Structure 1
Amino acid sequence: MKIIYTTAFAFFLFTSFNMQVNSKQTVLVSNLQNKSGRLFIGWYTAPESFPGKDPDFTKEVAVNNLSEISVPFDNIPDGRYGISIYLDENNNGKLDMNFLGIPKEKYGFSNNVFPATRAANFEEAAFEIQGKSGTIPIRLK
């Protein structure tokens, strides 16, 4: 009987140290300026993918005449992430750019970084999730 308790205790200790903690995170998107369209949100863990290729988590949300919206994400594992968002106002499934490569539609990044002449990189947008639920505010430009 003592062996069963010892084995169960050892198993509990081993699994508790190796458990991945998941939490609920809410992305609060502001400065929508009462526009309509589809909001595309991507979470990234790989710097080489950020800000537009192969997100780890995605969500697409319809927006209609709102100034801000809260978008919940359940079961986000602890880790380091960067978030990229754009509002597809004409519903063509992409962020439209002008002839100079400047976005014509609203976009944003975690940490609310907006470099003057380029998209934010992963290091600028990166933040940590550490087992607690939280809200990530992102203001669109």
Structure 2
Amino acid sequence: MLLAMLALAPLASVSAAEQVAGICGAPGAPNGPRIEVVVSGARKVAGNMTITLYGSRPDAFLARTGKLARQRVPLHSTQAEACFAVSTPGIYAVAVYHDENDDHDFNRTLLGMPAEGYGFSNDAPTVIGLPSFDSVRFQVGPEGGRVPIRLRY
């Protein structure tokens, strides 16, 4: 019995350090650091800015079920802001797209090229394909942080 409890002890500490996020001020949002995301450069004031926060796992970045939290912010100007409350300081990443037609999908052209604006934390380059996790990740300390992102079209 004692051996079984000792074997499970490391699992309990791993899950306690698990990253959790929510919208600042929302019920159930963590009380940890805050990440303020400021997106600029929308080519027109239409639709929403979809801002997605990812945690420290590289394999979860841009994966369909890998996000920690997402906000869809209606556009009232060419800039949008979102605030995420996170459970713990650590490594995070942000991906953004301007959902101009508000269909909750990142639209592409017939050639597969982006039809809507997009951006990533650290203004990571996207010359050929998607950026690597290493190029978009950033460190959040106990005091939180601000992440500026400029859209590309």
TM over 0.5: yes
Partner SS state of residue 33, structure 1: coil
Deviations 1:17-43 (A, max 9, x none): x99981122101010133211211111
Matching of residues 13-92 of structure 1 within 5 Å:
22-45=32-55, 46-54=57-65, 55-64=67-76, 66-92=77-103
Percent identity of equivalent pairs: 27
How far residue 75 of structure 1 moved from its aligned partner, in angstroms, is 3.7
Contact preservation (8 Å) 2:33, 2:86: yes
Distance across 1 between alignment mates of 2:63 and 2:41: 21
Deviations 1:75-106 (A, max 9, x none): 45211111111111112111101122210001
Q: When the two structures are aligned, how many residues end up with a matched partner? A: 123
Q: 1:48 to 1:75 in 2, by over 3 A?
A: closer
State the match for 1:6 in structure 2: none
Distance across 2 between alignment mates of 1:84 and 1:32: 15
How far residue 47 of structure 1 moved from its aligned partner, in angstroms, is 1.4
Partner SS state of residue 43, structure 2: strand
State the match for 1:134 in structure 2: 145
Contact preservation (8 Å) 2:108, 2:115: yes
State the match for 2:24 in structure 1: none
Higher strand share: 1
- Residue range with higher mean Cα deviation, 105-114 or 38-47: 38-47
Contact preservation (8 Å) 2:51, 2:82: no
- The alignment's C-alpha RMSD in Å is 2.1
